[in-house]
A and B are shown apart, each in its own frame.
Chain A
Amino acid sequence: MRSADLLHLAAESLLRARLRSLMMLVAMAIGVAAVVVLTSLGEGARRYVTGEFQALGTDLLIVLPGRSETTGVQPGLFAGETPRDLTLGDAQALLRLPGVERISPIVIGSVPVSAAQLSREVPVLGTNADFLVVRNLSMGQGRFLPPGELDRDMAVCVIGSKVRSELFPDRPAVGGSVRIGGRRFRVIGVLSDEGRAVGFDLQELVIIPVRSAQQLFNTESLFRILVQARDRDATPRVRQEVLRLLTERHQGEEDVTVITQDAVLATFDRIFTALTLTLAGIASISLAVAGILIMNVMLVAVSQRTAEIGLLKAVGARRRQITALFLTEAVLLSVAGALAGLVVGYAVNWVIGRVYPALPVGAPAWAVALAMLIAVASGVVFGLMPARRAARLDPVVALAGRR
């Protein structure tokens, strides 16, 4: 049969069985839309997280105390050793390494912060002036911590915009003062609204000089040290240097972990890719279900149309032609359903994009291709059995079907 005729005949019978066709179309569309939307969400989450990390700069190294790369019990524990803390001295030594552009020591804790009658428990972060550059932050009002020696204690602070609106609802914050853990600090700046960070909201943060934070929390150690290399290509070398220097300073014990931003990025990338694949797998199940529905409905169509099949045979249809006719119907349906599903999927994506502008939703091309492929393949696979059954009907019996 000419393919135009085949399409025409198949389309006619689909259009006449409108409700049945519509049901199959909807089933297939839901499957494809599910694949598109779910993979878009997974992919969106991946892009969101990697975007966040890239915003931090890929030339960044993070130094944390303790060895986290070794699995199992650390040998030091048996020898009665504990990992040494990172200190301000370590931080100052790192700054002198070649290839290191800036460093930012970090101490973090949570204490009550109050201004006038208003009090709130917020995270307090102790760091230095370079933190602003290292973390790509920008100021809304006033200025950031002043540059200077790391071990200088100053009673000044920079607050996040959310903290500002909560503690200074009706008066200017810059120039005012807050009490942090019983000590009075002068507010010298407010962070701008656009700060982004993984893990916690910078706008809920109070930033004070690192030495002041150590005194506040009564500690000599650092939570971690951020090291910014001069350029991205230098990071692996700088990482080695940092490890060597700290091992040397810690009496030959390699008791710190240095993570490069790239490594973190790659890890998250892997996790979220796995997530997306899992979601795609789950959504594909609904495609398979839609395929089985197509088979079911096509079987009904074959038994409803036995007389017609008998007639087709009487006027000279070959087995192959009847198979082709029913198969075309199944494939047409699944393709139409898949296209409808794409439209629905992209529409849902658009809505999600409107509701959560921060999430970069977008269906990955491979997922769209896969969904279409599975949809069409299930049309063929699940349409084949009913079509062959139709083709094998005995014309005499089939013609008698409606008499």
Chain B
Amino acid sequence: MIELEGIHRRFQVGDQLVRALDDVNLRLDAGEYVSIMGPSGSGKSTLLNVIGLLDRPSEGRYRLDGHETTELDDDALAGLRARSIGFIFQSFHLVPRLTAFENVELPMVLAELAPAARRTRVTEALAALSLTDRAHHRPDQLSGGQRQRVAIARAMVMRPTVVLADEPTGNLDHTSGAEVLAALEALNAGGITLIVVTHDDEVSARSRRQIRMRDGRVVHDAPTPAASPAPAPGPTP
């Protein structure tokens, strides 16, 4: 469960104060499937970074699964991040010199899990994403869709409660994008909270709850209309 109360995030850029997040209040229950949309610079990535504990709010309180996070130091945040959060990035962020297997294994290596347990979990995760025959390929030997699926496998091996996806289909063609979304939705079906930041209405339409941001504020937060994806949804009232 994610609880944000009065979150502000301000950056000093030159002599200008940028309000990337301006009094954001959100509550996401376990197992939700949420999409966050908004124009560039609306603060959606910053929000994702704050939820993912990569960035600290300038002000406000953030509880993740009941843990108060705003008082924690870097190492404690790293530990919480390792256990509770999985990241998916638009540019995949695989380590280029490691094989798919090793990339998936990485979070468990950092968490010092025993090698035998790691092997079982990586094998399972790769199988779940139909990557078993790609286990010993390096990222440059994989297609974009395969790379993103490796990243999903990496995000799930630590069995997090939340998966954060930042434009997960942004660099993919339509078919690969659909595969990747299906894989993410399968995680969500298993009870993991899924938060997707996207520009793509089609992607957003698949979520169950839509959040829109503008100028650092949440301007729309509602369940996704049951209707089939509209060609071009107008501005939200």
Contact = CB atoms under 8 A, between A and B. Distances in A.
B21 interface: no
B154 interface: yes
Nearest to B155: A315
A15 B97 CA distance: 9
Given A1-B112, A396-B49, A316 B93 contact: no
Contacts of B96: 16
Contact of B110 (A310, A316, A399): A316
A15 B81 CA distance: 30
Given A313-B78, A319-B75, A2 B93 contact: no
Contacts of A275: none
Interface in B165-203: none
B91 interface: yes
Interface residues of B, number: 30
A315 B98 contact: no
A402 B91 contact: yes
B158 interface: yes
Contacts of B2: none
Contact of A318 (B75, B91, B115): B75
A315 B79 CA distance: 9
A123 to B, nearest CB: 70
A343 interface: no
Contacts, number: 72
Given A311-B93, A316-B158, A396 B55 contact: yes
B82 interface: yes
A402 B98 CA distance: 17
Interface string B69-98: 000001100110111000101110101111
Contacts of A363: none
Contacts of A307: 93
Nearest to A395: B54
A77 B102 CA distance: 88
A9 interface: yes
B43 interface: no
A22 interface: no
Given A313-B54, A316-B78, A319-B74, A399 B89 contact: yes
Interface string B100-128: 00100011011110010000000000000
B154 A315 contact: yes
Contacts of B82: 315-316
B145 interface: no
Contacts of B109: 1-2, 5, 9
B52 interface: yes
B93 A12 contact: no
Contacts of B91: 402-403
Interface centre among A2, A396, A403 (most CB of B within 10 A): A396
Contacts of A308: 93, 95
Interface centre among A12, A315, A321 (most CB of B within 10 A): A315
Interface in A331-386: none
19 contacts: A1-B112, A2-B109, A2-B115, A5-B109, A16-B96, A307-B93, A308-B93, A313-B81, A315-B87, A316-B78, A316-B79, A316-B107, A317-B78, A318-B78, A319-B78, A321-B110, A396-B54, A403-B90, A403-B91
Interface of B: 49, 52, 54-55, 74-75, 78-79, 81-83, 87, 89-91, 93, 95-98, 102, 106-107, 109-112, 115, 154, 158
Given A5-B109, A316-B110, 12 more contacts: A2-B112, A16-B96, A312-B106, A313-B78, A315-B87, A315-B107, A315-B154, A316-B81, A316-B83, A316-B107, A319-B74, A395-B55
Interface of A: 1-2, 5, 9, 12-13, 15-16, 307-308, 310-321, 395-396, 399, 402-403
